[in-house]
Amino acid sequence: MMVPDLTNVDPATKFPRAIAAMQNAGFLKSARYTEQQHRANREGAHPFILEFADKTVKRLGMLGIPFFPHCIVRTEEEQRQAVQSGVSWDSPDDGLWPHRFGAVDLIHGVLGWMDKPAIPYAWDVVGHVGKQVAISMGLKIVWGGDFPPRKYDPAHFEMAGWRNWRKNADGTFALNRSDL
Ligand SMILES: [Zn+2]
C-alpha cells in the first residue's frame, strides 16, 4: 500500500482532519454496516483476536468511523492464493500464517483501504485506536502500519508471537492469556 503524501498537512490539525475525513454517521446506522460485521470468516480464530477486532470496530464507531473486519481467518488454500496474488508474503507451507487464527484486517466500511485517494494520517488514527484497545485487553498486538515500508500493511493487526504457537488437536490453543 502507498504511504500518503504528508507534505502539505498542518501538524496541529492532522488527526482531527483525518478523523473528520473518516467519519460517516449515516453509514454507521445502515443495514450494510451491520452486514459487513459478519463478512469475515471467524471459524477457528483465537478468541482474543475476535475480541480485539470487535472492540476496535466498536471504539472506531464511537468516534463516528465505520469499520469492519474484512479478513480474519484464511484457510490454507486461501492463504496459498493470497501469496500467489501478491496479497500476502507468508507461505502456508510451514503450517503457520498470521491469518490462520491470530490476525485481522480492519477496513473502512465506505472508503475501504483509504488509499484512493490516501487520507493523510487516517491509518495512524486507526493504528492508535487498535493499540489502545490492545492495551486495555492486556494483549500484545503488532500493527501492520509499523511494518517496514516495503511491507506497510496498516489494515493488519496480529497477535505478537503467533509464529510460536500451535493449535492443539482438540481445537484449543497452546497459548493462553498468561502466555501473552
Ligand atoms: Zn492481514
CATH, residue 123: 3.30.1380.10
**Span from the CA of 12 to the centroid of ligand 1 (angstroms):** 31
> Is-above-0.85 flag for pTM?
yes
Q: What's the CA gap between 90 and 100, in Å, rounded?
A: 11
Does the pLDDT at position 178 exceed 90?
A: no
- Determine phi and psi for 158, rounding to 5 degrees: -135, 150
Confidence of residue 12 (pLDDT cuts 50, 70, 90): confident
17 in any annotated domain = no
Q: Which residues neighbour ligand 1 (ion) by CB within 5 Å?
A: 105, 156
**Span from the CA of 50 to the centroid of ligand 1 (angstroms):** 14
**Span from the CA of 157 to the centroid of ligand 1 (angstroms):** 7
82 in any annotated domain = yes
Does the pLDDT at position 117 exceed 90?
A: no
Question: How many other CB atoms sit within 10 Å of the CB of residue 69?
Answer: 26
Q: What's the CA gap between 172 and 30, in Å, rounded?
A: 36
Give the residue-averaged pLDDT of 26-37.
98
Q: Which helix (H) or strand (E) holds 79?
A: helix 76-84
Question: Dihedral angle at the C-alpha atoms of 6, 9, 12, 17, nearest 10 degrees?
Answer: -100
2 in any annotated domain = no
Confidence of residue 5 (pLDDT cuts 50, 70, 90): low
Give the pLDDT score at 169.
78
Q: Mind listing the pLDDT tens digit for each residue in 66-108?
A: 999 999 999 999 999 999 999 888 898 888 899 998 999 999 9
**Span from the CA of 70 to the centroid of ligand 1 (angstroms):** 9
**Span from the CA of 10 to the centroid of ligand 1 (angstroms):** 31
**Span from the CA of 145 to the centroid of ligand 1 (angstroms):** 11
19 in any annotated domain = no
Domain span at 77:
25-166+174-179
Give the residue-averaged pLDDT of 130-156.
95
Total domains present in the chain: 1
- Determine phi and psi for 67, rounding to 5 degrees: -130, 160
Closest Cα partner for 162 from 138, 144, 142? 142
48 in any annotated domain = yes
55 in any annotated domain = yes
Closest Cα partner for 19 from 126, 157, 152? 126
**Span from the CA of 160 to the centroid of ligand 1 (angstroms):** 13
